[in-house]
Structure 1
Amino acid sequence: MSFFFRSLPVQRWGATWLLAATGLLGPAAAQTLPRFEDNLAQRVMACTACHGPQGRAAADGYYPRLAGKPAGYLYNQLLNFREGHRNYRLMTQMVDPLSDAYLLEIAEHFATMEVPYPRPATTTAMAQERARREQLALRGDATRELPACTACHGAALTGVLPATPGLLGIPRDYLNAQLGAWRTGLRKAHAPDCMADIARRLAPQDIAAVSAWLSTQVLPANTRAVAPGAAPLPMRCGSALPPGARP
């Protein structure tokens, strides 16, 4: 299997090894060469350089958490970057040469990670505003055909297998950015693009309200995505299709 990403550290290690082999480095330097093992954990160091150790998210809130998200969701997002449905040049360049099978292997690697979530944000919103935020997240708005977040992302908002992500433990700024990207068409998914439909029904103040409420919620003891329930989801989303089900 080819390397996931030919990172600069690997290139430097290779150059150092060559100097040692040709005698241009002393014995002490050769003995302290970094050890590189050809395994997935080291190949995805290109991911964790931005997404944090074990994919637990960057401290700035710009790069999202990968650890523990459903493999189907992570796989779909890697495909979306490769196919141009999501736009971030660094991600596109990294995944462009990789096969579907390798992308799925990467997704499954991060899906198995069990690492703590950060503490939720605090809020100073008044009771009336907190109630409006909770209304949108937990009950939606039937007058605008807005389903509750829980309708697709699970009653505990920790995600639903095989490919719907959880919404808790995510920074407010990142949630704002992604909902805004769907609303403006910067982020897309295979049809039916349900998140784009929902986001377009949300006013900017609604997006801010939902993001604020989600980012302040305490995570349950079990943070893993749950099995799908017996009742069908209210919408069929191209962004949540399981692997192998792309239209």
Structure 2
Amino acid sequence: MTSHLFSGWLARAALSCLLAGQALLQASAATADAPNRPTATPFEDSIAQRAQACTLCHGKQGRAAADGYYPRIAGKPQGYLYKQLLNFRDGRRHYGLMSDLVAPLSDAYLLELAGYFAQLDLPYPPPLPASLSAAELARGEQLVFKGDPARKLPACVQCHGSKLTGVQPFIPGLLGLPRDYLNGQLGAWRSGQRQAVAPDCMATIAKTLRLEDINAVSQWLAAQALPAGAKPALALPAPLPMDCGGLQ
């Protein structure tokens, strides 16, 4: 997808989510203004109710949107979700809709919101078949499990866990994500649109990867089924291969 078409698609998606959010807020206000109506539904003041604003873009219960760009947030480590909310709020990640939504929210509130989605244990959809050749997918698999020592590229499993399901509390899983999202995030790190606290290890990795590497890795990952009972690991079996400020 060319850059101007991709930007236009994002703008339309953001507008759709924003309009849906406004409709939800208006409906809630109408209910609050008419508490004595027999048909009025009492407003549930809970984190589950407030989290519904997130599901307008991220899908029902945070399972991911069908468009392939808004990712699954259900079941990701709480620390990772919390860090990303802080990154959007504090300007290290740049997406206007997310930044505007979390701008007025406190650290404590964002941590509570992250905890709500982290505790959801929901099934994943089946993976989509890849569209690359066997040789290209083999290259993606090699980078995932072995990296490229000649270019000082660590393997994905060295940070994201041997099962690629993430590691508590700050490292997300790589399976169950659409390839468009994986491509988009690696591209955002390459361009500087997405950042983490220095030293930004993912930015270093993404800028070392070639474009064909990114496509091969994202296609291979998106085509893999999750192992049964997939959850983030409690710890890595070995130290991280490089310093990552976003994990502190």
TM-score exceeds 0.5: yes
Give me the whole-angstrom Cα distance separating, in 2, the residues matched to 1:205 and 1:20.
58
> What are the equivalent positions in structure 2 for 1:1-247 lying under 5 Å apart?
8-19=23-34, 21=36, 30-241=37-248
Aligned length in residues:
228
Q: Deviations over 1:91-129 (max 9, x none)?
A: 111111111111101001100001111111113543322
Alpha-carbon RMSD:
1.6
SS at match of 2:197: coil
SS at match of 1:57: coil
Gaps of 5+ in 1: 1-5, 22-29, 242-247
Of residues 86-95 and 103-112 in structure 1, the stretch that sits farther from structure 2 once superposed is 86-95
Considering fraction of residues, name the structure with more helix: 2
Cα 1:11/1:236, change in 2 over 3 Å: same
Gaps of 5+ in 2: 1-20
Task: Give the drift of 1:227.
Answer: 1.3
Q: Deviations over 1:179-231 (max 9, x none)?
A: 00001111001001000000000111111011001000111012110011352
Whichever of the two has the greater Rg, that structure is 1
Is 2:75–2:119's contact at 8 Å kept on the other side of the alignment?
yes
Task: Give the drift of 1:88.
Answer: 1.0
Is 1:13–1:34's contact at 8 Å kept on the other side of the alignment?
no
Q: Which amino acid aligns with 2:85?
A: L
TM-score if structure 2 supplies the norm length? 0.87
TM-score if structure 1 supplies the norm length? 0.87
